[in-house]
Chain A
Amino acid sequence: MTVFQPSDAAEAAEVVAWAAAEGQPLEIVAGGSKRGLGRPPRADHQLDLSRLAGIVDYDPAELILTARAATPMAEIEAELKAKRQMLAFEPPDWRGLMGGDGEPTLGGVLACNLAGPRRVRAGAARDYFLGFSAINGWGEVWKAGGKVVKNVTGYDMCKLQAGAYGTLSVLTEVTLKVMPRPETACTILLQSMADEIAIPELLRALNTPYEVSAAAHLPAPAARRSAVEGVAQGLGAVTALRLEGPAPSVAFRAKAIESLLGHGLRLDAAETERLWAEIGRVRPLLPSGARRLWRLCPTPTSAPVVSNALRAQFASAEAFYDWGGGLIWLSLEADEAGPDGGASRVRAAMREAGGHSTLVVAPDDVRARAAVFEPLEGALAALMKRVKNGFDPRGVLNPGRMHEGQ
């Protein structure tokens, strides 16, 4: 295996042009922290973009940040924090989840379209992705979008690159919309609600004008694993609602939410930060050991039904909910999940709910066998394939990372 480490986009383009000409598939990596996400790589060579790092332009008053794709998230977040800004989609730290020690990079976050708890109100990485430079599967350097927050010139190619796992182009430089960091935050904890009660309550809270910025439900076992005292020491399940903004506004809205849903424990800003980072990291709240981890995105109201169906299928099932029920993290014992990681039974449980599911954590051989992402069918599958061919007809960019041939 050859590892290419280009020092700039032009060199990277040359590698891709060579790969396309020779029919040599490339695995696209930078920090490598999410190498285990998706189907296992089947490329003979690695295109390592680590040297394409660094912030190119950050203008807080314009709400714009441009950086090379392999800029470490730690650097981005430190710069933003110094100017009291943030990435509103709250990219979670999945190092513990994926079990690697690589450095998460901005390009990786965008390529995987990651989003944390604030997704429920603010959107995902895709919603803040404004423009980029990239290399297509011919080895051509191309760009799309712009460096301003409002732009409809040409097709919105940013959406297509977000969540394409590097199979459509190699991102080399990206521009994002950034947002002000809220002045303060608090979390309201409600105790001991069953899933069937908690999810409708979360959705009710999201329907109020009190701007709930995150809404999660931790069944008792998940809550007990929390490192946040107020969560772990409750008697059972914990339902959490986050409010963010100027201090007088947060105080007012917290009171309003409590008068609607009942009084619970309130976490201060520091504990709030710890709790939601933990929810974003996922792993601390689920059992350790040989497990398979699924990420399910059902229609939010269906979440408790999906959970019940899963518990009927798997004695070892453990789960918690984020995004007001729109996200379920499910952990299954490896043996019980079986050779496909539980794929057929998980997807059967999801069928009625609508939505999609992803096998996030499982050994390579399981992820090679099972459909890691929700399988696509019919006209849609054919369309996706034509889209892939329009960017990478030789199939040299992360081949098979998402689906067979994609």
Chain B
Amino acid sequence: MITMPPSDQAVLARRAEIVAALRRIVPGEGVIDAEHERRAFECDGLTAYRQLPMVVVLPETTAQVVEVLRHCSANNVKVVPRGAGTSLSGGALPLEDGVLLGLGKFNRILEIDIANRCVVVQPGVTNLGITHAVQAHGLYYAPDPSSQIACTIGGNVAENSGGVHCLKYGLTTNNVIGIEMVTMDGELVRLGGKHFDASGYDLLGVMVGSEGMLGVVTEVTVRVLPTPPGARALIIGFPSVEGAGDCVAAVIGDGIIPGGMEIMDRLAIEAAEAFVHAGYPLDAEALLIVELDGCEAEVDHLIAAVEAIAARHGATSCRSSQSEEERLLFWAGRKAAFPAVGRISPDYYCMDGTIPRKRIGDVLLRMKQMEARYGLRAANVFHAGDGNLHPLILYDANKPGELERAEAFGSDILRLCVEVGGVLTGEHGVGVEKRDLMDTMFNEIDLNQQQRLKCAFDEKSLLNPGKVFPQLCRCAELGRVHVRAGQLRFPDLPRF
């Protein structure tokens, strides 16, 4: 289990005083003090980790956010920002001595600018809420994390959320063009806007995916895209996962970037089919779902092309959706994969590594060996186009030691992802969950450089500390210039 930074006893001793000060900034019900009410905020989507926050603040205006952060900064009080709390990596896990800053009341759509194809929203608007606001104009917001009905755009910015369609349409970072944010010391900063790029360093780019550690986002401008006129899906059965992987490589090698491309393994297929009855082939070891979107002429052309590629790669079955209802049914199984797995196991633990797709065969083989070693099963769903693997480890939290075994199994899977040339997290974020695995990917110099960026935004390390980095920032030490003159020989290098 992960350890969080030690609580600041001086802050805890001043708790009543801090609560009173916060009430002066956010009046009424915006400051939540009672323990039973704070309980609702004790965890996010990673429910294995829980911590009661010192106090919860739900501001309604940017001015209040500025004041709260100024006060906390001046009084050395830690702050954990939170959107809808759907993080799967513990990014919004509270701190015992920290203020939990909920942005849920920032739920207004501020401007819909059709001509410039963008929407300005407050951070508490849900991902799907943006699409709902513009769909009458034939537009939509492309990144579609599976929690899109609940997760907020502010949380998406913090986590750089992806989704099924991101191989073709990009992650959050490719679809957010501006933000307003408040730094830990209460400075209001605007980055980007409705225009392309911006002057100076791309701080917007680095804010997206910074897991709530660099600033608190108070407004977001997103790019919206014209809704594709049509979409059709294929479900293709394969006798092996490698076969499905080879087919994916061939589709991309042929120049086709599908709107979505997913692989499920046998256990995931069986669980989903039993739950949703989507017509998945139960004789297949792997199922590939491919969705082609665009104008009708393009979709029909590409469906035929993918069918031909599948046939060449040993597909044992291949069906294309003949109606919108059928397309949605094909997806229903995949989208319900998590709850479907939940039906065959009391608990499951969802992982999120990315691997070079060509290594899928070895990785699944090694996972089978791990299943035997840990005495636990794993079902696999896989964003096949971009190599983002979501193993679902099945366990029973009521059996002593199973949660720990599931976590150890998960860590081994992520180490394996890194070993084969991949990364720890494709879209869920590091949070607390993968924090202590960061050194499998990065050495001390790499992590120090990341932390120096943190220091530029939050010198006192008060904003969401204990996440992402195995060690807390030591800004003074990291910023020191080690003058090594005299120790270095003048480099003996070719020059002219």
Interface positions of A (Cβ within 8 A of B): 2-7, 11, 14-15, 17-18, 20-22, 59-64, 84-85, 113, 119-120, 123-124, 126-127, 136, 138, 140-144, 146-160, 162-164, 168, 179-183, 200, 203-204, 206-211, 245-246, 248-249, 251-253, 256, 297-301, 323, 326-327, 354-356, 358, 373-376, 379-380, 382-384, 386-391, 393-394, 402-403, 406
Contact = CB atoms under 8 A, between A and B. Distances in A.
B423 A153 contact: yes
Contacts of A376: 199-200
B295 A209 contact: yes
Interface stretch (B17-25, B369-377, B381-389): B381-389
Contacts of A18: 488, 490-491
B386 to A, nearest CB: 4
B144 to A, nearest CB: 14
Interface string B97-109: 0000000000000
A152 B457 CA distance: 19
B471 interface: no
B202 A163 contact: yes
B294 interface: yes
Nearest to B447: A154
Greatest chain A CB density within 10 A among B196, B387, B445, B483 is at B196
B430 A154 contact: yes
A79 B468 CA distance: 37
Nearest to B455: A390
A38 to B, nearest CB: 12
A320 to B, nearest CB: 16
A146 B200 contact: no
Contacts of B194: 299-300, 354-355
Interface in B184-206: 187-191, 193-206
B420 to A, nearest CB: 10
A159 B205 contact: yes
9 contacts: A18-B491, A21-B486, A126-B202, A127-B174, A150-B167, A207-B115, A249-B298, A253-B295, A300-B195
A375 to B, nearest CB: 8
Contacts of B294: 209, 211, 245, 249
B450 A379 contact: no
B399 interface: no
The 7 closest A-B pairs by CB, nearest first: A159-B205, A249-B298, A374-B199, A180-B255, A355-B195, A252-B297, A390-B452
Number of chain B interface residues as a range: 35 or more
A160 B454 CA distance: 13
Contacts of B448: 142
Contact of A297 (B137, B188, B196, B209): B196
Given A206-B117, A358-B199, 20 more contacts: A2-B495, A15-B491, A60-B253, A61-B252, A62-B249, A62-B357, A148-B386, A148-B422, A152-B425, A155-B206, A155-B210, A156-B173, A156-B205, A163-B197, A200-B115, A207-B115, A301-B115, A326-B196, A380-B200, A384-B201
A382 to B, nearest CB: 8
Given A152-B428, A154-B450, A157-B453, A61 B358 contact: yes
B422 A156 contact: no
Interface string B475-496: 0001101111111101101111
A61 B441 contact: no
Contacts of B422: 146, 148
A33 B171 CA distance: 32
Contact of B488 (A21, A124, A386): A21
Given A155-B206, A252-B298, A390-B452, A148 B189 contact: no
Contacts of A249: 294-295, 297-298, 301
A156 B493 contact: no
Contacts of B239: none
A181 B254 CA distance: 10
B426 A245 contact: no
The main secondary structure of chain B at its interface with chain A is loop
Contacts of A140: 445, 449
A64 B354 contact: no
A403 B200 contact: yes
Interface in B93-150: 113-117, 137-139
Contacts of A63: 252
Greatest chain B CB density within 10 A among A85, A387, A403 is at A387
A285 B113 CA distance: 31
B196 A59 contact: no
A34 to B, nearest CB: 16
Greatest chain B CB density within 10 A among A141, A157, A383 is at A383
B392 interface: no
Contact of A14 (B195, B441, B491): B491
A343 B452 CA distance: 34
Contacts of A153: 423-425, 430, 434, 438, 441
A351 B225 CA distance: 27
B182 to A, nearest CB: 10
Contacts of A384: 200-201, 203
B296 interface: yes
Contact of A17 (B456, B478, B484): B484
Contacts of A179: 257
A271 to B, nearest CB: 22
Given A146-B354, A380-B200, A162 B450 contact: no
B201 A168 contact: yes
A248 B295 CA distance: 10
Contacts of A146: 354, 422-423, 441
Contact of A354 (B195, B203, B386, B453): B195
Given A156-B173, A252-B298, A383-B457, A143 B442 contact: yes
B216 to A, nearest CB: 14
A246 B301 contact: yes
A143 B255 CA distance: 30
B429 A152 contact: yes
B355 interface: yes
Contacts of A62: 249, 356-358, 387
A60 B170 CA distance: 18
Contacts of B449: 136, 140, 142, 144, 157, 390-391
B206 to A, nearest CB: 5
Given A143-B442, A252-B298, A379 B188 contact: yes
B356 A3 contact: no
A298 B196 CA distance: 8
A380 B190 contact: yes
A210 B445 contact: no
A297 B301 CA distance: 37
Contacts of A300: 115-116, 194-195
B208 interface: yes
A148 B387 contact: yes
A218 B257 CA distance: 32
B120 to A, nearest CB: 12
A136 B209 CA distance: 22
B131 to A, nearest CB: 15
Interface stretch (B51-59, B72-80, B226-234, B281-289): B226-234
Contacts of A326: 195-196
B29 interface: no
Nearest to B486: A21
Nearest to B481: A393
Interface in B441-469: 441-442, 445-450, 452-457, 468
B302 interface: yes
Given A180-B256, A252-B296, A387-B203, A59 B227 contact: no
A22 B354 contact: no
Contact of A209 (B226, B249, B438): B226
